[in-house]
Structure 1
Amino acid sequence: MKTLYFNQQRNWTLEEMYTACEVSKKAVNIVHGMKALLTTQELRQQFMARVPIYPTPMQVNDLLHQFRCEQLDSNPMSDDDFKDLFLLNPLKALTQYFKEQVSPVCVKRMQEWGVTTDKLIEQRSRNKYVHIIRALDKASL
């Protein structure tokens, strides 16, 4: 049986995507991942074109992980842009640099643990797919 996928030509809102992907509001990792990654209509369309009709939560989560890695490969934020944006809006800079939802607690931890943007950049240079929590942890050592 052939797998059916959603229409990629449709203009998707995040709310419509949650419904189509059968994502519960309680599935915060998936909700936050979609918010952080799927910031443009083009990205939402590309994502939905790869979501099968009636997906399982695991399929959506796996696709988000794969999509994040692809975005880090094809559309990374430069280190200089990260540093510049961090001065203006640390939360937005971290979210865009790591391509994942970042909470204000991470910014507070950076300050408390003495983690600089240079230390985070070093962690990303070692592993471009590293998540913010892991990068903070390793940078604080």
Structure 2
Amino acid sequence: MKYTLTAAACLITASAALAEPEVTEGLWSYQATATLGIMPIVDKGNYCIKGQQASASFEELLNDINPNCTVTDGTYDASTYAFTLSCTGGPQGQLDGTVSVQGGQATLRATGWTGTIESQVPVIVSASAKKLRPTCS
């Protein structure tokens, strides 16, 4: 879960490009918040979707978050992808969440834990993205 917040921002913007055929490459604005235990972490900015990200699956994007993390359950229904992301090999953890896309807007919500089986720290991730323009420049 080391890369949770950055990954959430990348996932939400890349996922937005996937879920709607007319939304492909382009510049997206994102806001992401992760709470690890009682510590909130906030990130916002712009992210360029191009190349392989625009054609990657939700599972591929989630599996790229951390080499120790794998989607163990993922289902796609209309504009929402529900997933379970499990991480082993340090740090351990699990996130259960959804990515939803409607128009040029996308949201990600996930909850879970990180740490060890014996000492779990709660994790809450929330992110949103909006397409700004079809090119990155």
Task: Give the TM-score of the pair, scaled to structure 2.
Answer: 0.26
Report which structure shows greater RCO (CA 8 Å, sep ≥6): 2
Task: Give the TM-score of the pair, scaled to structure 1.
Answer: 0.26
Structure showing the higher helix proportion among its residues: 1
